[in-house]
Amino acid sequence: MSVDSTPPMEMLSLSDVVEEAEFSQRVPIRSIIGRSDGGAGLAGRVVRIGGWVKKGREQGKGAFAFLEVNDGSCPANLQVMVDATVFKLRDLVATGTSVHVEGVLKLPPEGVEQKVELAVQKVLAVGTVDAAKYPLPKTRLTLEFLRDVIHLRSRTNTISALARIRNALAYATHTFFQKHGFLYVHTPIITTSDCEGAGEMFQVTTLINEAEKLEKELKDNPPPTESDVKAAEELVQAKGETVTHLKSEKASLGKDGDGVAEINKKISAAVGELKRAKENLAKFEERFNLGERCKHSAGIPKKDGKIDYSADFFARQAFLTVSGQLQVETYACALSSVYTFGPTFRAEHSHTSRHLSEFWMVEPEIAFADIKDDMKCAEAYVRFLCQWLLDNCLDDMEFIVNSIDKGAIDRLKLVASSDFIKITYTEAIAILEEAVKVKTFENKVEWGIDLASEHERYLTEDHFKAPVIVYNYPKGIKAFYMKVNEDNKTVAAMDLLVPKVFLCSFQLY
Amino acid sequence: MSVDSTPPMEMLSLSDVVEEAEFSQRVPIRSIIGRSDGGAGLAGRVVRIGGWVKKGREQGKGAFAFLEVNDGSCPANLQVMVDATVFKLRDLVATGTSVHVEGVLKLPPEGVEQKVELAVQKVLAVGTVDAAKYPLPKTRLTLEFLRDVIHLRSRTNTISALARIRNALAYATHTFFQKHGFLYVHTPIITTSDCEGAGEMFQVTTLINEAEKLEKELKDNPPPTESDVKAAEELVQAKGETVTHLKSEKASLGKDGDGVAEINKKISAAVGELKRAKENLAKFEERFNLGERCKHSAGIPKKDGKIDYSADFFARQAFLTVSGQLQVETYACALSSVYTFGPTFRAEHSHTSRHLSEFWMVEPEIAFADIKDDMKCAEAYVRFLCQWLLDNCLDDMEFIVNSIDKGAIDRLKLVASSDFIKITYTEAIAILEEAVKVKTFENKVEWGIDLASEHERYLTEDHFKAPVIVYNYPKGIKAFYMKVNEDNKTVAAMDLLVPKVFLCSFQLY
């Protein structure tokens, strides 16, 4: 059940009151045009709205302007009409202009697409845009281009739809696991442990920063040279000899001889000088060594030929986590059902659609469960996510279908409504061996192989045309800690395959 | 409204069915003893439970054993009785033993504290513990000690209560913002931008790793020496001279002279040798330079005396984020109401209760709002969190009250139920100036100061004895981007003060 404030569109009825957001002086546009009547039933209501102009045009020889305004609450825009007597139209029509306006909702002339439009009575605030400089034209842009205007790309249809979908999936994830009594655990991001060699790790350090500070400091205050140090050493020796000399002179005077008081004074002074010379030498040596460090290791401290991590922030080498698995398992062994949902990192230079250097990952852990419970959980979670998108993001999914992926909604419906096929790895191999008789795979099919992407796609997209869970994999291709089954050949691990995506992998310990 | 599967205790009634968790073969202990009747109404029911023995003891001369079992679903334990005829008691009683058992719920003898106990009929699985080696005795342990047994500390009363409270607050946070139409945005963790100089940053790099690989490789395959390079240079020169010599010889022969074919062959061979000598020299030079780099900068590439970040993973210097503010603001300028909730990092060597090197932070951003909307949001959020804890974590909060902080529940009730006091900075200074007449502060009180912790505590704990929002701070003590008020002296920023904690700070742009 959703506790979202913006209810699924089909749940909005004509009797719904259009209310301003509680902490923002605007009625979300979704709650106007997302209604089943497209907002027609709200005609006559005075509302404030805020948003950004997607398209604007002056009409009637500059007598009025039409603005299509989007506030990010839904993919659709509200049509806004401003009379030239209300505001300087030239300042409103540029794409990207931010507008905060009050007006009355009106039925538009018949025959147009929108069901309601806003006739502005008062302009509360405007953030103008220089159309010549605004980098997002009305035409369709490539995702690659948008990487260069990253501060504005969330204003595009695609990125804003993805942001709403991602938000929905994140909240659905929490809702699903909380509903089933799982506790959310924040595992550490900075870690000193590797996790099953999941991939190359990023190092987290303050050593380089410290080294650069040191280099700068040594540039401002150059360290002593080798001969400076030598001179300081000689000074210590000379001062030491003076003390020795004075002491033997004192000894020759006898205990109460003449001049003892005077020589004591001299000794005391010489000892003081020796002490200062020693301190000076120590300081020279320390700074000389720092200078050498800068010369030989870019200022990074080394010991026995290796980097001396005792000087790093955590006094040891630290990395960004590649998985919270190890840490969250310790919670599962105390709290029974837990999950993580947080960022993870891989320092791999792989440019494929399956590799990111930073991504958010969900890791559930269940105690007192077997592989069947595990499969049930994975299936329920994935179906819950699909249904949630259908219930809460249908308008955004329609945008995706129209502009990016025709089959997206159909696949969501398929996954949300079908019982997942569950087959053992051994059964999967048998199906693939049958397929080989009439079809060619690039990779060999035989018991013991790790299923290739083409095999997985064949199973889910061609053979079953449905989501498939493959379980009980050969122990040889899975990690050492997985639970070995009674056959002593397979382990209790599973992968969930969904048409067009490889979703997730699970295992038992 | 909570969608948690474990409803607040007062919502459970005697007619509730005790069901197993959907993906785990156990009835959560909370759903037995967390009922208003303490579970008495469930007597006679056969259930499976799983958990860890907190305390165990053999009784009746070894005829049976009592185990107090906790499964992390609530702070309280279920009393479990096992007969010696059912299982080897010695293997069950050690603290930390993991037990998965099936049995019948029974009313205990009168006069004992618990309202129900489980008489075990079948032991499904046991993870035994060597009591001599288990590092968590039954006695109370310091948090400092628990840092050394971090893999087991979630089994202690304190850490498990904190884990449940943290989980509740995280889900309450999402529920609050989703309910109010805010979209959750994941801002990048690895970033190249600093954020208002919030603090020292951790560097994220693969340079050191690459340098170490290089050092190892050069140790295995030592680079050429300077004289190796010199020799290679000389070889190139010699081979070049041979080619020149042969070419001039050929010229002297004339176009069709005798031996042209033969000399062409020689030239071709000499050119080939020259090419190979050049390639060899290039390789020598490259590896010689790598060797020099290792000698002079610990293998880290440098250019013009500075580290050459073009060789780093992102081809520039990168850090861990100190705040997602900058990035999430770009989303607010497209989606109107957004929030972040993710990890942030500070590389500061400060050991106070207000400093952590890694912590999770919530950052809401609202478009088309003023400082009053902002204050309303902060107040509503904090009150929502407090009420959520009272509704969902009362048992854990009672543990906190009994063992750590006597006033914790009273403060939650106070904050959840009182309207927050809202005063301007100027009013706050006036109150503090009155206070100075009868009370001494360490820090001077005058208009323009940044309020010290003692001032904030005086306002919320002594003067108002309630949560206080202070707003409209002098512009001189706040960041440059905050909105200047009409008085041209103050900016639209606010801090929320709560008795015993400094909670959060907000501002307008």
Residues in chain A closer than 8 A to B202 (CB atoms): 190, 204-206, 313
Residues in chain A closer than 8 A to B294 (CB atoms): none
Q: Give residue A303's pLDDT.
A: 83
- Tell me which amino acid residue A231 is: A
Calculate how close chain A gets to B124, using CA atoms only, in Å.
10
Is A23's Cβ below 8 Å from some Cβ in B?
yes
Residues 403-432 of chain B whose Cβ lies under 8 A from any Cβ of chain A? none
Q: Which residue of A has its CA nearest to B75?
A: A335
Please give the backbone phi and psi of residue A354, each rounded to the nearest 5 degrees, phi first. Answer: -100, 0
Q: Is A219 exposed, middle or buried (0-12, 13-18, 19+ CB in 10 A)?
A: exposed
- Which of A203, A292, A293, A346 would best serve as a mutation to test chain B binding (most B beta carbons within 10 A)? A203
The enclosing H or E element of A410 equals helix A408-417
Q: Give residue B507's pLDDT.
A: 55
Put simply, the answer to whether A166 touches B188 (Cβ < 8 Å) is no
CA–CA dist B281, A129 (Å, integer): 58
Residue extents of the structural domains in chain B? 29-127, 186-204+317-356, 206-311
pLDDT tens for each residue of A109-149: 888 888 999 999 999 999 999 999 998 877 778 888 888 89
- Which of B2, B95, B154, B319 would best serve as a mutation to test chain A binding (most A beta carbons within 10 A)? B154
**Which of B363, B326, B56, B27 has its CA nearest to residue B183?**
B363
pLDDT tens for each residue of A367-396: 999 999 999 999 999 999 999 999 999 999
Put simply, the answer to whether B335 touches A51 (Cβ < 8 Å) is no
Put simply, the answer to whether A181 touches B5 (Cβ < 8 Å) is yes
pLDDT tens for each residue of A446-463: 999 999 999 999 999 999
Distances (CA, A) of B360 to A265, B326, B363, B479: 64, 16, 10, 22
Is B456's Cβ below 8 Å from some Cβ in A?
no
Residues in chain B closer than 8 A to A160 (CB atoms): 334-335
Is A315's Cβ below 8 Å from some Cβ in B?
no
Residues 207-236 of chain B whose Cβ lies under 8 A from any Cβ of chain A? 207-209, 212
Whether residue A94 has pLDDT greater than 70: yes
Put simply, the answer to whether B369 touches A208 (Cβ < 8 Å) is no
Residues in chain B closer than 8 A to A164 (CB atoms): 183, 335
Residues in chain B closer than 8 A to A204 (CB atoms): 202-204, 320
Calculate how close chain A gets to B98, using CA atoms only, in Å.
9
Q: Give residue B293's pLDDT.
A: 80
Residue B338 neighbours by CB under 8 Å, 6+ apart: B182, B183, B184, B185, B328, B331, B332, B364, B365
Q: Give residue B306's pLDDT.
A: 81
Q: Give residue B340's pLDDT.
A: 97
Q: Say if CB A318 and CB A310 are below 8 A apart.
A: no
CA dihedral (B374, B380, B382, B388) positive or negative: negative
Calculate how close chain B gets to A357, using CA atoms only, in Å.
9
Calculate how close chain A gets to B218, using CA atoms only, in Å.
13
User: Which is it for strands B117-127 and B78-83: parallel, antiparallel or unpaired?
Assistant: parallel
Residues in chain B closer than 8 A to A184 (CB atoms): 166-167, 170-171
Residues in chain A closer than 8 A to B28 (CB atoms): 181, 336
Put simply, the answer to whether B151 touches A190 (Cβ < 8 Å) is no
Put simply, the answer to whether A209 touches B186 (Cβ < 8 Å) is no
Is B331's Cβ below 8 Å from some Cβ in A?
yes
CA–CA dist B334, B224 (Å, integer): 58
Calculate how close chain A gets to B202, using CA atoms only, in Å.
6
Q: Give residue B44's pLDDT.
A: 94
Is A6's Cβ below 8 Å from some Cβ in B?
yes
Put simply, the answer to whether A24 touches B367 (Cβ < 8 Å) is yes
CA–CA dist A462, A424 (Å, integer): 18
Report residue A14 as tokens: 């004509």
Residues in chain B closer than 8 A to A3 (CB atoms): 1, 3, 175, 178-179
Q: Which residue of A has its CA nearest to B100?
A: A368
Is A347's Cβ below 8 Å from some Cβ in B?
yes
User: What's chain A's Rg over C-alpha atoms?
Assistant: 36
Nearest to B330 among A98, A154, A295 (CB): A154
Is B1's Cβ below 8 Å from some Cβ in A?
yes
Is B366's Cβ below 8 Å from some Cβ in A?
yes
Degrees, nearest 5: CA angle B336-A158-A460: 125
Report residue A229 as tokens: 């140090």
Q: Say if CB B245 and CB B253 are below 8 A apart.
A: no
User: Which is it for strands A468-474 and B306-307: parallel, antiparallel or unpaired?
Assistant: unpaired
Put simply, the answer to whether A347 touches B206 (Cβ < 8 Å) is yes
Nearest to B163 among A6, A183, A188 (CB): A183
CA atoms within 13 A on the CB side of B27: 23
Q: Give residue B8's pLDDT.
A: 47
Is B203's Cβ below 8 Å from some Cβ in A?
yes
Weakest-pLDDT range from A89-103, A178-192, B288-302: B288-302
Q: Which residue has the tokens 């003893």?
A: B33
Q: Which residues lie across from B302 on neighbouring strands? A: B307
Tell me the CATH architecture of domain A29-127. Beta Barrel (2.40)
Q: Which residue has the tokens 């006559």?
A: A44
pLDDT tens for each residue of A228-254: 999 999 999 999 999 999 998 888 887
Q: Which residue has the tokens 């505001």?
A: A87
Put simply, the answer to whether B3 touches A178 (Cβ < 8 Å) is yes
Report residue B442 as tokens: 């360490």
Is B345's Cβ below 8 Å from some Cβ in A?
yes
Q: Which residue of A has its CA nearest to B302?
A: A298
Residues in chain A closer than 8 A to B365 (CB atoms): none
Nearest to A50 among B167, B296, B336 (CB): B336
Please give the backbone phi and psi of residue A311, each rounded to the nearest 5 degrees, phi first. Answer: -90, -5
Put simply, the answer to whether A335 touches B160 (Cβ < 8 Å) is yes
CA dihedral (A200, A206, A208, A209) positive or negative: positive
DSSP symbol at B55: E
Calculate how close chain B gets to A97, using CA atoms only, in Å.
11
Residues present in chain A in total: 509
Give the distance from CA A316 to its chain's centroid.
Answer: 25
Put simply, the answer to whether A26 touches B185 (Cβ < 8 Å) is no
pLDDT tens for each residue of A270-311: 999 999 999 999 999 999 988 888 777 778 888 887 888 998
Task: Write down the H helix ranges in B85-225.
Answer: 143-146, 157-179, 207-220
CA–CA dist A462, B330 (Å, integer): 43
Report residue B458 as tokens: 């005086």
User: What's chain B's Rg over C-alpha atoms?
Assistant: 36
CA–CA dist A364, B58 (Å, integer): 36
Confidence of residue A363 (pLDDT cuts 50, 70, 90): very high
Residues in chain A closer than 8 A to B186 (CB atoms): 166, 170, 343, 360
Weakest-pLDDT range from A193-197, A361-365, B355-359, B485-489: A193-197
Calculate how close chain B gets to A328, using CA atoms only, in Å.
9
CA dihedral (A141, A144, A146, A148) positive or negative: negative
The enclosing H or E element of B293 equals helix B260-297
Put simply, the answer to whether B342 touches A342 (Cβ < 8 Å) is yes
pLDDT tens for each residue of A71-82: 999 999 999 999
3-state secondary structure of A317: coil
Quickly count: other Cβ atoms within 10 Å of residue A23's Cβ: 23
Q: Which residue of B has its CA nearest to A72?
A: B335
Mean pLDDT, each 10-residue run in order, chain B (509 residues):
41 56 94 93 95 96 97 97 97 96 94 92 96 82 88 94 97 97 97 69 91 86 92 93 90 77 90 94 91 79 84 92 93 97 91 83 96 96 97 96 92 94 97 95 95 94 94 94 94 92 53
Q: Give residue B261's pLDDT.
A: 85
Distances (CA, A) of B286 to B93, B224, B280, B305: 67, 10, 10, 19
Residues in chain A closer than 8 A to B158 (CB atoms): none
Put simply, the answer to whether B335 touches A154 (Cβ < 8 Å) is yes
CA–CA dist A311, A309 (Å, integer): 5
Calculate how close chain A gets to B62, using CA atoms only, in Å.
28
User: Which is it for strands B318-320 and B337-345: parallel, antiparallel or unpaired?
Assistant: unpaired
Is A345's Cβ below 8 Å from some Cβ in B?
yes
Put simply, the answer to whether B72 touches A200 (Cβ < 8 Å) is no
